[in-house]
Structure 1
Amino acid sequence: MAFLNLIRWKNLAMIVFTAMVIRFALLPGFGQNPEVGLFPYLLLVLSVVCIAAAGNIINDIFDVTTDSINRPKKLIIDQVIKRKIAFKLYFGLNVLGLFTILFILLSHPSESLWIVFSICVLSPIALAVYSIWLKRVALAGNILISILVGASIFCFGIVLIDSDQNPVLYFIILAYALLAFSLNLSRELIKDIEDLRGDYYCKMKTLPILIGKKRSNHMIFGLLTFTILILLTLLLNYFLSFNVFIFYVFAFILIPLILISKQILKAKNQKDYTSISFHLKLVLLVGICSMFTFLIL
């Protein structure tokens, strides 16, 4: 169980779920057949999961000090799993993930897989740089992680479609990737506020340390407001004929985001921020589930 918690199995399960929904809900909803077979697609999912799991491990390895202050009861490295073993798991998962995506590329060469391969190769480097250095820099680390979250959705979608023949689907995949980026960035900033005490002790320069909780709250509120406006713009300009989808987004994404935005302005203690972080993650999951509505259009 310690290993599963170390690799953040719930987050990995959400990656797998997202990949399956894109293939078995979004594409059939538009009557499109996938460009790659199920087996190579599952291998791609495995590759992304392995790289993400490795990223979670390296993050925990370099987070021991802050985690011992912020969440001592959940500390795994050095307490349950030795650091040396954690490093071996980190390298092993990265090697498995990279060799898997290389195998897919060699057996099914295509322009889209070259793009995905490049993203997968760069991701372990980006995650290591984040864990060692960028997470200590205000906004830079938050933005990097959020880009990788959005990139995972982009990767799962782009290998399944021909963007030239299916521009609408390509646009929708980009829209979901943008939504994932924005919501995850908001969560990353919330988590920085949650980890304020340990980060301050380790002399990090995260946003709440530099500008304080109240100003950080206003910045997150602004980011969520921007997300809401972007969603409204997309709905009104491109999805007016998708009645079920519009109802779903208004009822289960936009309204909850408005309520969460109001909560952020009032947030003061650890319990408030933990609740907001959970609800943002729930909205992201509900947002991915909105792809099922395309099956009943």
Structure 2
Amino acid sequence: MHPYIRISRPLTSLMIGLAVFTSSLIGVGRNIDAYMLPVFLGVMIASLFGIAGNAINDYFDQKTDKINHPDRPIPSGELTPGQALNFSILFFIFSLLLSTFLGFVIGFEALLICIIALAFQIAYEKKFKKEKIIGNVIIGTQTSLAFIFGGVLVGKIVITGIFAVAVFLAIVGREIVKDIEDVKGDVGKTTLPIKIGAKGAGIVAVIFIALSVLISPLPYYPLHIFGLEYLLVVLIADMLFIGSMPVIFRDAMIARRMLKFAMLIAITAFITGAMF
């Protein structure tokens, strides 16, 4: 695979775009065809922003990636740090230009969210990457912003805000699991596993994941936003979330992959609920 494709992490970037689409779908359901232009632009903006964010993450992580992820494009020598940084800046510019155009279509709230997300990204990379306890919260906030962004596209912020909370909790839990996985290479960083040990950090991750699972049935009952179809699919995601909990303490890498797959199924549940 070409190094520029690998550094962009297309699956992760598309998941951000899918989160925006899902959020818009949650807001208006089958009436989403009335919002096709802003939703299409929103998905493109989020995906481009995700590509830029992944690339700049690798740029700032080049030293630790020599230990934790030596096969990535920068530590493997396939890309220079400068090439990765320029690639990231280019895609941030594309994302902001599209956001500006979208502002003329639906209002500049969408551009404001993108600017806030960019500010969080820069703050994380420049200041809070080593203070990863705060950094994990920033990452969770950025991801939940994707769901709020999707709500802004269709004018349904309150409904999508519920899902943004669940997403925030799941993402923070997953980021803690990633820190457990990378603890050997995170020299000089303030991570939860370094502060309180892998076991203690695992317990905190379980709490965040469990809270996300507890929120997931609310759109079915008592809010009655979605029907039984949503509940049946989201329960599959919940079983994976719950199943990952004991794995966190044995193999953080496998737990991280289980959590990513559970999130994909959860997004499928949201789409199912909005459509039926």
User: Is the CA contact (8 Å cut-off) linking 1:137 and 1:206 kept in structure 2?
Assistant: yes
Matched residue, 1:130:
124
* Distance in structure 2 (CA, Å) of the matches to 1:198 and 1:139: 16
1:206 pairs with one of 154, 179, 191:
191
Structure 1 window deviating more from structure 2 (118-127 vs 237-246): it is 237-246
Percentage identity across paired residues of the two chains:
23
Distance 2:22 2:88 in 1: 28
Q: Which digits, 9 at most, give the CA deviation of each residue in 1:101-124, with x for residues without a partner?
A: 111212x143xxx22211101222
Match among 243, 263, 269 for residue 284 of structure 1: 263
Q: Are residue 87 (structure 1) and residue 81 (structure 2) matched?
A: no
Report the counterpart of residue 9 of structure 1 in structure 2.
10
Who is 1:148 aligned against?
Answer: 142
Deviations 1:167-205 (A, max 9, x none): xxx4442222222211111111011111111112xx111
Contact 2:26–2:159 under 8 Å retained in 1: no
Deviation, 1:257, is: 2.1
What value does the CA root-mean-square deviation take over the aligned residues?
A: 2.3
C-alpha displacement of 1:27 = 5.6
Alignment: residue pair count: 275
Matched residue SS, 2:101: helix
SS in 2 for 1:237: coil
Distance 1:75 1:88, change over 3 A: closer
Structure 2 distance, partners of 1:125, 1:241, is: 34
Superposed displacement of residue 55, structure 1: 1.5
SS in 2 for 1:133: helix
Do 1:47 and 1:101's aligned partners in 2 also have CA atoms closer than 8 Å? yes
Contact 1:179 1:227 in 2 (8 A): yes
Q: Does 1:76 align with 2:74?
A: yes
Q: Which position in structure 2 is the counterpart of 1:59?
A: 57
| Partner Cα separation in structure 1 for residue 221 and residue 27 of structure 2 | 22
Take 1:124 and 1:187, find their aligned partners in 2: how far apart are those partners? 21
Conserved 8 A contact 1:27-1:34? no
The 1-side partners of 2:230 and 2:181 are apart by 34
Residue number in structure 2 paired with 1:167? none
Normalising by structure 2, what TM-score? 0.89
Q: Which runs of 5+ in 1 are unaligned?
A: 164-169
2:187 is the counterpart of 1:196: no
- CA distance in 2 between counterparts of 1:208 and 1:241 reads 38
SS at 1:150 equivalent = helix
Partner residue of 1:247?
A: 232
SS at 1:155 equivalent: helix
CA distance in 2, matches of 1:44, 1:233: 26
**Partner Cα distance (1:295, 1:241) in 2:** 7
Query: Is the contact made by 1:58 and 1:90 (CA closer than 8 Å) also made in structure 2?
Result: yes
Alpha-carbon separation, structure 2, partners of 1:282 and 1:227: 15
Q: Distance in 1 between matches of 2:226 and 2:41?
A: 36
For residues 23 and 87 of structure 2, what CA distance do their matches in structure 1 show? 29
1:151, distance to aligned residue in structure 2 (A): 0.6
* Alpha-carbon spacing, 1:246–1:101, altered in 2? closer, same or farther (3 Å): same
Conservation of the 8 A alpha-carbon contact between 2:132 and 2:191: yes
The CA distance in 1 between the partners of 2:148 and 2:202, in whole Å, is: 29
TM-score, structure 1 normalization: 0.84
Segment drifting more, 175-184 vs 212-221? 175-184
Aligned-partner residue type, residue 31 of structure 2: Q
Matched, 1:119 2:106: no
Offset of 1:246 from its aligned partner?
Answer: 2.0
Give 2:65's aligned amino acid: D
Comparing both chains, which one has the higher relative contact order based on Cα–Cα distances under 8 Å and sequence gaps of 6 or more? 1
* 8 Å Cα contact 1:77-1:83 kept in structure 2: no
Larger Rg: 1
Corresponding residue for 1:32?
A: 31
Amino acid at match of 2:125: S
Q: Distance in 1 between matches of 2:219 and 2:47?
A: 30
Gap runs ≥5 in structure 2:
none
- Greater CA deviation, 287-296 or 95-104? 287-296
Q: CA deviation at 1:208?
A: 0.6
User: Which residue of structure 1 lines up, in the alignment, with residue 272 of structure 2?
Assistant: 293
Give the stretch that moved more between structures: 126-135 or 237-246: 237-246
